[in-house]
Amino acid sequence: MIGASRAKELSAFPPFVRREVPWQRRVVETSHGEISAIVHGAGERDVVLFHGNPTWSYLWRKVIRALDGRGLRIIAPDLLGFGASAKPRRPGDHQLGMHIAALVEVMGALGAERPILVGQDWGGPIAAGVGMRLAASGAPPGGFVLANTAVLEPARPFRSKAFHRFSHLPILSDVAFRGLLFPIPTLGLVQGDRLTMGPTELAAYAWPLLSLVDRAGPLGLARMVPDSEAHPSTAVMDDIGAYMRRAAESAPIALVWGNRDPILGRALERHRRAFARATVRETEAGHFLQEEVPFALADAIVEVAGKVSG
Domains of the chain, with CATH numbers? 10-307 (3.40.50.1820)
| Gap between the Cα atoms of 102 and 110, Å rounded | 13
Question: What are the φ and ψ backbone dihedral angles of 183, each rounded to 5 degrees?
Answer: -100, 15
Task: Quote helix, strand, coil % in the chain, to nearest 5.
Answer: 45, 15, 40
User: Do 147 and 119 contact (CB within 8 A), yes or no?
Assistant: yes
Burial of 31 (0-12, 13-18, 19+ CB in 10 A): exposed
Q: Going residue by residue through the chain, which has 310 residues, state the pLDDT in tens, using 9 for 90 and above.
A: 444 566 666 677 889 998 999 999 999 999 999 999 999 999 889 999 999 999 999 999 999 999 999 999 999 999 999 999 999 999 999 999 999 999 999 999 999 999 999 999 999 999 999 999 999 999 999 999 999 999 999 999 999 889 999 999 999 999 999 999 999 999 999 999 999 999 999 999 999 999 999 999 999 999 999 999 999 999 999 999 999 999 999 999 999 999 999 999 999 999 999 999 999 999 999 999 999 999 999 999 999 999 997 6
Give the count of beta carbons closer than 10 Å to the beta carbon of residue 122: 25
Neighbours of 106 (CB within 10 A): 22
Report pLDDT for 290: 98
CB 136 within 8 A of CB 240: no
Beta bridge partners of 120: 147
pLDDT value at residue 13? 81
pTM: predicted TM-score of the whole model, two decimal places: 0.96
pLDDT score for 44: 86
Using alpha carbons, select from 60, 97, 88 the residue that is nearest to residue 239.
Answer: 97
**CA distance linking residue 128 with residue 139, whole number of Å:** 14
C-alpha closest to that of 233 among 127, 132, 144, 125: 125
- Give the count of beta carbons closer than 10 Å to the beta carbon of residue 254: 25
Using the Cα atoms of residue 247, residue 248, residue 249 and residue 254 in order, give the sign of their dihedral. Answer: positive
Report pLDDT for 1. 43
Host H or E run for residue 295: helix 294-307
Spatial distance between the Cα atoms of 142 and 162, rounded to a whole number of angstroms: 36
CA distances, 85 to each of 32, 35, 57, 108, 125 (Å):
11, 5, 10, 17, 19
All residues at 6 or more sequence positions from 125 whose CB lies less than 8 Å from its CB, including other chains: 96, 119, 149, 150, 151, 236, 237, 240
